[in-house]
Amino acid sequence: MHYTISGQGPIVILIHGLFGDLDNLKALGKELETTFTVVRVDVPNHGTSPRISQMNYLTLADDMTKLITDLCGQYGNQKVTLVGHSMGGKIAMATALQHPDLVNKLVVADIAPVSYHSRHDNVFAALESMPLEKINDRRQALTHMQNAGIDDGTAQFLLKSLTRTSNGFEWKLNLQGLKNSYPDIIAWPNFDSAYQGPCLFIRGGDSDYVTAAHRDAIMSQFPQVTAKTIAGTGHWLHAQKASIFNRIVKNFILE
């Protein structure tokens, strides 16, 4: 798993969501690195991490556990704080549930420990139909995304994973691997245990990813949870109101 390290102090690992990369939470990392050792990861099949044909939260939690163990050995820490957005939040939760002895605190941004219905079919279709060998610049790529029914904000986010090569453009994302794994990405495994450590859930006030219907699932698996809502934000709350989001996360970790 590819990652970057900055700052010094107790370790905080930042985990991005689906179709993203380690730069998604870069602003939060900058906020934290004055006090913490900040580790930003590329989840497998994203950024420059390995491409794999199948991924699920049990195997991703195993990958994260190996990283935590290595980092703690390297930096002399015993536990880390995990911060994850969307899919990254599920990876963080799965890791905390499987190995609570390695997790000091947990921050989950706009996702619940539940299974979701498919909601990215149009995104996969737009990405797969991109004429990579024909486009000459990002403007043409953006036009393609818009014509495929992707809103501007989502399109700009997705196009961060488009990279120019000597032969044209290609996706840093492993689209086939993500598509193969998508049923597992929107699902949630059954865990026998609960994470008893401090946990913060932050949701976007305009998002439907975390609702009152998810309360019991959250409380049963994370009984020490506290919750915050950032008004006027959707699923991309960490980008839409970055200063508020970053302050909430930092204050919680420092408590």
Scanning 76-172, the segments in alpha helix (DSSP H) are 87-98, 121-128, 138-147, 152-158
Residue 33 domain-assigned (yes or no):
yes
> Is-catalytic flag, 115?
no
Bridge partners, 204 (sequence order): 230
Tell whether 129 and 111 lie within a shared domain.
no
- How does pLDDT run across 220-245, given as a tens digit for each residue? 999 999 999 999 999 989 999 999 99
For the chain, give the mean pLDDT: 94
Res 200: pLDDT: 98
Annotated active-site residue in 49, 86, 181, 207: 86
Range of the domain at 77: 3-116+187-254
Residue 81 domain-assigned (yes or no):
yes
Beta strand spans in the chain (E): 3-7, 11-15, 37-41, 80-85, 103-109, 162-165, 168-171, 199-204, 225-230
Tell whether 195 and 105 lie within a shared domain.
yes
79 with 104: CB under 8 angstroms? yes
Which of 155, 133, 154, 153 lies closest to 144 in space, CA to CA? 155
Res 253: pLDDT: 96
Read off the pLDDT of each residue in 50-78 and give the average, rounded to a whole number. 92
Q: What is the CATH number of the domain that holds 55?
A: 3.40.50.1820
Residue 180 domain-assigned (yes or no):
no
Distance CA(200)–CA(78), nearest Å, equals 21
Angle at 139 between CA 136 and CA 144, to 5 degrees: 90
Considering its fold, how many domains does the chain have in total? 2
The SS3 call for residue 185 is helix
Examine the pLDDT at 255 and tell me if it is beyond 90.
no
Q: Is 38 left (phi over 0), alpha (psi -120 to 50) or beta?
A: beta
> Is-catalytic flag, 144?
no
- How does pLDDT run across 152-205, given as a tens digit for each residue? 888 999 999 999 887 789 999 999 999 999 999 999 999 989 999 999 999 999
Bridge partners, 201 (sequence order): 108, 227
Pairing of strands 80-85, 37-41: unpaired
Domain boundary among 129, 146, 172: 172
Tell whether 29 and 98 lie within a shared domain.
yes
Tell whether pTM > 0.85. Answer: yes
Examine the pLDDT at 75 and tell me if it is beyond 90.
no
Annotated active-site residue in 16, 46, 85, 235: 235
Domain boundary among 172, 200, 215: 172
By CB atoms closer than 10 A (0-12, 13-18, 19+), residue 216 is: exposed
By CB atoms closer than 10 A (0-12, 13-18, 19+), residue 105 is: buried
Read off the pLDDT of each residue in 48-63 and give the average, rounded to a whole number. 94
Scanning 135-199, the segments in alpha helix (DSSP H) are 138-147, 152-158, 175-185
140: pLDDT confidence band, cut at 50, 70 and 90?
Answer: very high
Tell whether 97 and 210 lie within a shared domain.
yes
Tell whether 131 and 54 lie within a shared domain.
no
Tell whether 103 and 197 lie within a shared domain.
yes
Tell whether 22 and 147 lie within a shared domain.
no
Tell whether 196 and 138 lie within a shared domain.
no
